[in-house]
C-alpha cells in the first residue's frame, strides 16, 4: 500500500479523497493555485505545494508542475479526482514513466473511452446498445447540417472529449445545427484542448441512467448498480439518486452486464461509469463512459456501503478486488443535491464573492436516515470565477425514496450561506415538487416544469400557514424585546393587541392571537386567516440565523435574515419578506402607490461575472429580436446574449477580451424605426 499520495485537484473532491486516505493511514499532498492558498483542501493535507497562478492551465492542468510536486514530496501515487487531468491518458503515461502510480484506469482505457467517438466504436464491437449517429470527425457547419438531416431531427452535437455539459448542444433545425456546431467546437477547444465534435440522434423525453463499475488489474470487473441523473440543467446534473425509480430488476441486470462487457473490452481497471440514455419504455442506449470518479459517487456509496475511493487506491496499488458481484446488494435510497454558487433569479448565472457566512448541515444520523455533506469550502473563503462554482454536495440516505427526500428537504433548510447567491432555495423547491416526488423524470424535467426559469413568487409563501405563523412569532418577539429595553423613551404599556396583519411580499394575512399573549411570546396559539388554532413554539431569539421550533407539532427550520422593521424568511422553497402591521397600518399601506421597475430594455448588461468572447454587432447596426449580440464566457461555459426586441445598437461599452462584473453595461440601444 502507498505511504503517500498526491491529490491533483481542489475543492470538495480533494477533501473527500483525503478523508479516505487518512482512514487508510496514507499521508496526503495537496497542490494549489495562488488563489487557493487558504483553501480547505490545503489545510487538510499533510503537505501542500503551490503549483502556479489562478488559471487552471497554469496550475491544476499543468502536468510538469504536478509531477515536480510528486518528486519534491516523494508521493508514490496521484489521485486526479474528477475534471482537470482525470481523463488525460498522456498524464497517466507520464506518471508511469516516473514510476508514480495513477489512481485511475490504464491509459489505453482512458483513450478508448474518453474519446466519445472511439468509445462508440468499442461499444458497437462489445454489442452494447448505442444511439444512432455519425461517429466520424465533422469538418464544417455545412457537413454538420448534411449529417443531421440524414440522422433526422432533433440531434445532439457533442464534443468528443467533452463532459460536464460543455461542448454540447441540441439542434432542432439546420440553423441551430450551424450555430451549435460553432459553439460546441469553441467550448470544446477552450475546456478540453480538443475541438472535435460528433452528432447523434437526440432521444426525446429521455432519462439519464448510469452504471457504476469497478475493475482491478487482474481482469475482475463488477458493477455497483445504477444512478439516475435525469434532473439536469444545460446538460449538467443537478440532482442524482440511487437506485433509479424507473428500472426493474431485469433491466438493471442487463444494463449492468453490458457495462461490464464494455469495461472488459478495454481492460478497465479502476472505478468508472458507463452512462446510458433510457427512454420511458426502458429501452437503453450507450451514451459515454467516464473513466474517473463521478461527482455523484456518494449515492452509490451510501446504497452499497462501498467506499469507491478506497477501492480505487487499493486497485492502483495492485490489489485484487475484495468484492464480487454477489456482495453488491442495494440498501435503501440515496439522493444528492449539488449546492452551487449561482443565482437562480438570474438564470442560474455564477455568483462570485466571499462566503460571509457558511454553515452547512452536519454529517450525522437522524433515526434510520443519514445526512452527509461533502464540502470544500469554509466560512470566509472566496468563490472565484476561475473554477467550477460547486460549494458542496449534500447527500441523504433513507430506507425509502420518500424518507430520503424528506431528510434532504430538512437538511437543505439547515444550510445557511451569506455573501453570495446559491441554488439552495431552488433545490428545496425541487424536493417538494410533486412530479419529482412521483419519480416521473426526464432530462427535460427542468425545462418542462420551469419554462420561464426559476421565478420566486413571494405571494406563494402566503399560502403556507407555516411561513405566516413563523414570521409572526419572529416579528412579535422582536417587538416585545424592544418594548422591554431599559431607557426606551416611550415603552409599551398595557396588553398587546390580539389582531394583526402579516404581509408576506405584499400578500396580507390576518393573524389572531388566541388566549392572550404570554409574557415571552415563544409559545403562541394563533389563528392564521381564520384557521383552526395553530400552536407555535420556539426558543429562537433575535440575531439567530435559523429559527428552530414547532408549528402544530411539526418540527420546522426556517432561515431568517432580519432587517429594520421586517425580515426575510426561507423554508422548503418558499421565500418572502415578512412585515408585521397593525390593522390600521395595513389599511394605510394599501393606499401607498406601487413602484414600477425602470425600463431595462435599453441596455444589455452582463448577466454574470465573465469574459467577453465576442461582440456580434456594431454601433449603428439594426438588430431583430433573437439576434446574437455578444458571447460571454464564465467558468468555461459560453453564454449567448440575444436581443429581446427589434432595436438599433447605439453605443458599445465593452470590448472583446474584457472581464466584466455582473450587471456591467455591454451596450445600449435605441428603438428601431
CATH of the domain at 560: 3.30.700.30
Reference 408, options 378, 383, 437, 385; nearest CA is 437
Catalogue the E-assigned strands of 356-406. Answer: 357-359, 364-366, 369-375, 382-383, 390-398
Predicted local confidence at residue 456, as pLDDT? 66
Asked if pLDDT for residue 577 goes beyond 60, the answer is yes
Question: For residue 116, is it within any domain?
Answer: no
- Among candidate residues 157, 174, 201, the one where a domain is terminated: 201
Asked if pLDDT for residue 519 goes beyond 80, the answer is no
CATH of the domain at 156: 3.30.1490.20
Question: For residue 121, is it within any domain?
Answer: no
Predicted local confidence at residue 224, as pLDDT? 98
Residues 365 and 438 in one domain: yes
What does the alpha-carbon distance between residue 66 and residue 78 come to, in Å, rounded to a whole number?
Answer: 9
Contact by Cβ (8 Å): 37, 104: no
Residues 561 and 661 in one domain: no
337 compared with 463, residue with greater pLDDT:
337
Query: In this predicted structure, which of 20-34, 426-440, 516-530, 539-553 has the lowest mean pLDDT?
Result: 516-530
Instruction: Average the pLDDT over 218-237 and give the result.
Output: 94
Question: For residue 597, is it within any domain?
Answer: no
pLDDT tens digit sequence for 310-324? 999 999 999 999 999
Predicted local confidence at residue 201, as pLDDT? 87
Residues 528 and 627 in one domain: no
Residues 286 and 215 in one domain: yes
- Among candidate residues 186, 201, 216, the one where a domain is terminated: 201
Residues 414 and 344 in one domain: yes
Residues 17 and 62 in one domain: yes
In three-state secondary structure terms, 133 is strand
- Among candidate residues 183, 201, 219, the one where a domain is terminated: 201
Asked if pLDDT for residue 394 goes beyond 70, the answer is yes
Residues 257 and 384 in one domain: yes
Question: For residue 115, is it within any domain?
Answer: no
Predicted local confidence at residue 636, as pLDDT? 64
Band of pLDDT at residue 232, cut at 50, 70 and 90: very high
Residues 241 and 294 in one domain: yes
pLDDT tens digit sequence for 282-292? 999 998 999 99
Instruction: Average the pLDDT over 524-552 and give the result.
Output: 91
Q: Is 95 left (phi over 0), alpha (psi -120 to 50) or beta?
A: alpha
Question: For residue 126, is it within any domain?
Answer: no
Residues 178 and 249 in one domain: no
Asked if pLDDT for residue 142 goes beyond 90, the answer is yes
Query: Residues with Cβ < 8 Å from 376, sequence gap 6 or more?
Result: 10, 11, 12, 13, 14, 15, 39, 40, 41, 391, 392
Predicted local confidence at residue 463, as pLDDT? 65
CATH of the domain at 96: 3.40.50.20
Asked if pLDDT for residue 493 goes beyond 60, the answer is no
Residues 286 and 428 in one domain: yes
Catalytic (active site) residue 288: yes
Residues 535 and 631 in one domain: no
Q: Over the chain, what is the mean pLDDT? A: 90
CATH of the domain at 622: 2.40.50.100
Count how many domains the chain has: 5
Question: For residue 514, is it within any domain?
Answer: yes
Question: For residue 516, is it within any domain?
Answer: yes
User: pTM for this one?
Assistant: 0.82
Band of pLDDT at residue 35, cut at 50, 70 and 90: very high
Question: For residue 117, is it within any domain?
Answer: no
Band of pLDDT at residue 625, cut at 50, 70 and 90: confident
Structural domain span for residue 608: 603-671
Catalytic residue among 187, 288, 296, 342, which?
Answer: 288
Predicted local confidence at residue 164, as pLDDT? 63
Contact by Cβ (8 Å): 209, 267: no
Residues 187 and 326 in one domain: no
Q: Quote the radius of gyration of the chain (alpha carbons, Å).
A: 27
Amino acid at each position: 500500500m502507498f505511504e503517500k499520495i498526491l491529490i491533483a485537484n481542489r475543492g470538495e473532491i480533494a477533501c473527500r479523497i483525503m478523508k479516505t486516505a487518512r482512514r487508510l493511514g496514507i499521508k496526503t499532498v495537496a497542490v494549489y493555485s495562488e488563489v487557493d492558498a487558504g483553501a480547505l483542501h490545503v489545510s487538510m493535507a499533510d503537505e501542500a505545494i503551490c503549483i502556479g497562478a489562478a488559471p487552471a492551465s497554469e496550475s491544476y492542468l499543468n502536468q510538469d508542475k504536478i509531477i515536480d510536486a510528486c518528486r519534491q514530496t516523494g508521493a508514490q501515487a496521484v489521485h486526479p479526482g474528477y475534471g482537470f487531468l482525470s481523463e488525460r491518458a498522456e498524464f497517466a503515461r507520464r506518471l508511469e514513466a516516473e514510476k508514480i502510480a495513477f489512481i485511475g484506469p490504464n491509459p489505453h482505457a482512458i483513450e478508448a473511452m474518453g474519446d466519445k467517438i472511439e468509445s462508440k466504436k468499442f461499444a458497437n464491437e462489445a454489442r452494447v446498445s448505442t444511439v444512432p449517429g455519425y461517429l466520424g470527425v465533422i469538418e464544417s457547419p455545412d457537413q454538420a447540417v448534411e449529417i443531421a438531416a440524414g440522422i433526422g431531427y432533433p440531434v445532439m452535437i457533442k464534443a468528443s472529449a467533452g463532459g460536464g455539459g460543455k461542448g454540447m448542444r441540441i439542434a432542432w433545425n439546420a440553423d441551430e445545427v450551424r450555430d451549435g456546431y460553432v459553439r460546441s467546437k469553441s467550448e470544446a477547444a477552450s475546456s478540453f484542448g480538443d475541438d472535435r465534435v460528433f452528432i447523434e440522434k437526440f432521444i426525446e423525453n429521455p432519462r439519464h441512467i448510469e452504471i457504476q463499475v469497478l475493475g482491478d488489474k487482474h481482469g475482475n470487473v463488477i458493477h455497483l448498480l445504477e444512478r439516475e441523473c435525469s434532473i439536469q440543467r444545460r446538460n449538467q446534473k443537478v440532482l442524482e439518486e440511487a437506485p433509479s425509480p424507473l428500472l426493474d430488476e431485469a433491466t438493471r441486470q442487463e444494463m449492468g452486464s453490458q457495462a461490464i462487457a464494455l469495461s472488459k473490452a478495454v481492460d478497465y481497471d479502476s472505478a468508472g461509469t458507463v452512462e446510458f440514455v433510457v427512454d420511458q419504455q426502458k429501452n437503453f442506449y450507450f451514451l459515454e463512459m467516464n473513466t474517473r470518479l463521478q461527482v455523484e459517487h456518494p449515492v452509490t456509496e451510501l446504497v452499497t456501503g462501498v467506499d469507491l475511493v478506497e477501492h480505487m487506491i487499493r486497485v492502483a496499488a495492485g490489489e485484487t478486488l475484495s468484492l464480487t458481484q454477489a456482495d453488491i446488494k442495494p440498501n435503501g435510497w440515496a439522493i444528492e443535491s449539488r449546492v452551487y454558487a449561482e443565482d437562480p433569479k438570474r438564470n442560474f448565472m455564477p455568483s462570485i464573492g466571499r462566503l460571509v457566512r457558511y454553515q452547512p448541515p452536519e454529517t450525522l444520523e437522524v433515526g434510520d436516515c443519514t445526512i452527509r455533506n461533502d464540502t470544500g469550502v469554509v466560512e470566509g473563503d472566496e468563490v472565484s470565477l476561475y473554477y467550477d462554482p460547486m460549494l458542496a454536495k449534500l447527500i441523504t440516505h433513507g430506507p425509502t425514496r420518500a424518507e430520503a427526500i424528506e431528510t434532504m428537504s430538512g437538511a437543505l433548510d439547515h444550510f445557511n450561506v451569506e455573501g453570495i447567491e446559491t441554488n439552495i432555495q431552488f433545490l428545496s423547491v425541487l424536493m417538494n415538487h410533486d412530479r419529482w416526488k412521483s419519480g416521473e423524470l426526464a432530462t427535460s424535467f427542468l425545462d418542462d416544469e420551469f419554462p420561464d426559469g426559476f421565478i420566486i413568487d413571494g405571494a406563494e409563501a402566503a399560502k403556507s400557514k407555516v411561513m405566516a405563523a413563523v414570521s409572526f412569532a419572529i416579528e412579535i418577539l422582536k417587538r416585545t424585546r424592544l418594548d422591554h429595553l431599559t431607557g426606551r423613551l416611550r415603552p409599551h404599556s398595557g396588553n398587546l393587541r390580539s389582531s394583526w396583519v402579516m404581509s408576506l411580499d405584499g400578500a396580507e394575512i390576518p393573524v389572531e392571537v388566541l388566549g392572550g399573549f404570554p409574557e415571552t411570546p415563544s409559545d403562541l396559539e394563533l389563528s392564521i386567516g381564520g384557521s383552526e388554532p395553530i400552536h407555535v413554539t420556539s426558543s429562537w431569539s433575535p440575531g439567530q440565523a435559523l429559527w428552530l421550533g414547532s408549528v402544530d407539532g411539526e418540527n420546522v427550520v426556517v432561515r431568517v435574515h432580519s432587517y429594520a422593521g421586517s425580515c426575510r424568511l426561507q423554508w422548503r422553497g418558499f421565500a418572502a419578506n415578512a412585515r408585521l402591521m397593525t390593522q390600521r397600518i395595513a389599511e394605510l399601506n394599501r393606499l401607498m402607490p406601487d413602484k414600477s421597475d425602470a425600463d431595462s430594455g435599453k441596455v444589455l448588461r452582463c448577466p454574470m461575472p465573465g469574459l467577453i468572447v465576442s461582440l456580434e454587432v456594431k454601433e449603428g447596426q439594426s438588430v431583430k429580436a433573437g439576434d446574437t449580440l455578444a458571447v460571454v464566457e464564465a467558468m468555461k461555459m459560453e453564454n449567448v446574449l440575444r436581443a429581446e426586441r427589434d432595436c438599433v445598437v447605439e453605443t458599445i461599452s465593452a470590448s472583446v477580451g474584457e472581464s466584466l462584473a455582473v450587471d456591467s453595461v455591454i451596450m445600449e440601444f435605441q428603438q428601431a424605426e
